[in-house]
Amino acid sequence: MHTFACAAAPILMVLGRALPGVAMLLTVQASLAADYPSRPVEIVVPWAVGGSSDAVARAFADAATRHTGQSFVIVNRPGASGSIGHREGASARPDGYKLTLVTPEVSLASLQGIGKTRWQDFNYVARINADPIALIVKAESPWSTLEQFLDHARVHPGEVAISNSGIGAAYHLAAIAVENRTGLSFNNVPYIGAGPAVVGLLAGQVDATLATTGEVGAHVKGGKLRMLAVMAEQRPRDFDQVPTFRERGIDLQLGTWRALAVPKATPAEIVASLKRLTDKVNQDSGYRDFFARQYLGRMNEDGDRFRLTLEREHAFYADTVRKLGLGK
């Protein structure tokens, strides 16, 4: 008994010294979270200016600035199918002052050997947007239906130019999936983002593009572009005259999303503060009006729940990349 007490005493003393330190650390973290944000916050966008990812990030930044009084600043880091921006965001100081607008390419790029950042390198605040991918052509093109476009591609194998947001990105994968399902071949032309890819179509540099309603909705409504089909389970609410690929006998459902995330080691108190801010932003009338005007799908899916979606999606992409022979 005496021996046990003597051996235990140093342990109790160590614990006695350690516990106040732990309490102090927790107090400091709680204080920092209460004051957050106390200076400008950066949001890294892994894509170029002009695309929907950039637009979504700027809409969030504007609303967050209104609600916090601190500036939320967009930092565009395009290139390497989103890998440059995703890497910068994942490796940032985990203090809540550098967020990342993560996109599906965080999985797609790593699966194809483009960059090393993985989806697991982030702590997710919320998924704030999701949209299906559509096939779009210029309004004055000779194709009014998906069937006409595919028939032309069948007669001219490898000649029909389709722009995408970058090699290995979701829109590129969508084009390859169409090729795989139809036995056709396209001339897939990579740009540095969806915005530039749409500009390439408008300028007549390519015959078509694959993008979401958010990237092309205004141009379609304005009569400059024509949406031939959408890779969704149902027709889009704002474009209910556009058929799904499944309706035309091609069972494809692919889309993109945008989620706010922070480095994995970010304190839980900061993540919780960001979730509360995201809830406020999602109720902001200007923010909601932006999504409606731009034909974008607005959502506010909690980051913990979204991780389950990411796990399933990563498994789907891994299988797709393998079947298409794109894995490294």
132-248 and 39-131+256-323 share a CATH fold: yes
The whole-number pLDDT of residue 15 equals 45
User: Is the model's pLDDT at 292 over the cut of 80?
Assistant: yes
Q: Which CATH class is domain 132-248?
A: alpha beta
User: Is the model's pLDDT at 260 over the cut of 50?
Assistant: yes
Question: 159-168, 288-297, 314-323: lowest mean pLDDT where?
Answer: 314-323
62-119 pLDDT, tens digit per residue, is 999 999 999 999 999 999 999 999 999 999 999 999 999 999 999 999 999 998 999 9
For residues 125 and 260, the answer to whether their CB atoms sit within 8 Å is yes
Architecture in CATH of 39-131+256-323: 3-Layer(aba) Sandwich (3.40)
Name beta bridge partners: 127. 259, 301
The overall longest dimension of the chain from CA atoms, in Å, is: 95
- Other beta carbons within 10 angstroms of residue 49's beta carbon come to 16
Rounded to the nearest integer, the mean pLDDT of the chain is 90
Instruction: Give the H/E segment covering residue 20.
Output: helix 2-35
The whole-number pLDDT of residue 135 equals 98
The whole-number pLDDT of residue 23 equals 53
For residues 51 and 195, the answer to whether their CB atoms sit within 8 Å is yes
Percent of the chain with pLDDT over 90: 80
The whole-number pLDDT of residue 29 equals 53
Give the residue from 125, 118, 96, 100 showing the smallest Cα distance to 44. 100
User: Is the model's pLDDT at 5 over the cut of 70?
Assistant: no
The whole-number pLDDT of residue 17 equals 54
Residues 302, 279, 193, 239: is their CA dihedral positive or negative? positive
45-56 pLDDT, tens digit per residue, is 999 998 899 999
Percent of the chain with pLDDT over 70: 90
For residues 51 and 106, the answer to whether their CB atoms sit within 8 Å is no
Give the residue from 48, 59, 56 showing the smallest Cα distance to 165. 48
User: What are the sequence ranges of the domains in the chain?
Assistant: 39-131+256-323, 132-248
207-236 pLDDT, tens digit per residue, is 999 999 889 999 999 999 999 999 999 999
User: Is the model's pLDDT at 163 over the cut of 90?
Assistant: yes
24-45 pLDDT, tens digit per residue, is 545 555 555 678 999 999 999 9
- Burial class, 117, CB count within 10 angstroms (exposed 0-12 / middle 13-18 / buried 19+): buried
- Bigger pLDDT: 139 or 19? 139
The whole-number pLDDT of residue 19 equals 57
Helix axes 285-293, 52-68, angle to 10 degrees: 170
Tell me what the mean pLDDT of segment 138-149 comes to: 98
The whole-number pLDDT of residue 316 equals 87
Question: In degrees rounded to 5, what are phi and psi of residue 67?
Answer: -85, -20
Tell me what the mean pLDDT of segment 172-193 comes to: 94
The whole-number pLDDT of residue 219 equals 96
Give the residue from 217, 184, 225, 178 showing the smallest Cα distance to 201. 225
Give ∠ CA 99-254-321 in degrees, rounded to 5.
Answer: 85
Coil/strand/helix, residue 326: coil
Strands 41-45 and 72-76: parallel
Quote the pTM value: 0.83
Q: Which band of pLDDT confidence, cut at 50, 70 and 90, is reported for residue 276?
A: very high
The whole-number pLDDT of residue 199 equals 96
Name beta bridge partners: 99. 43
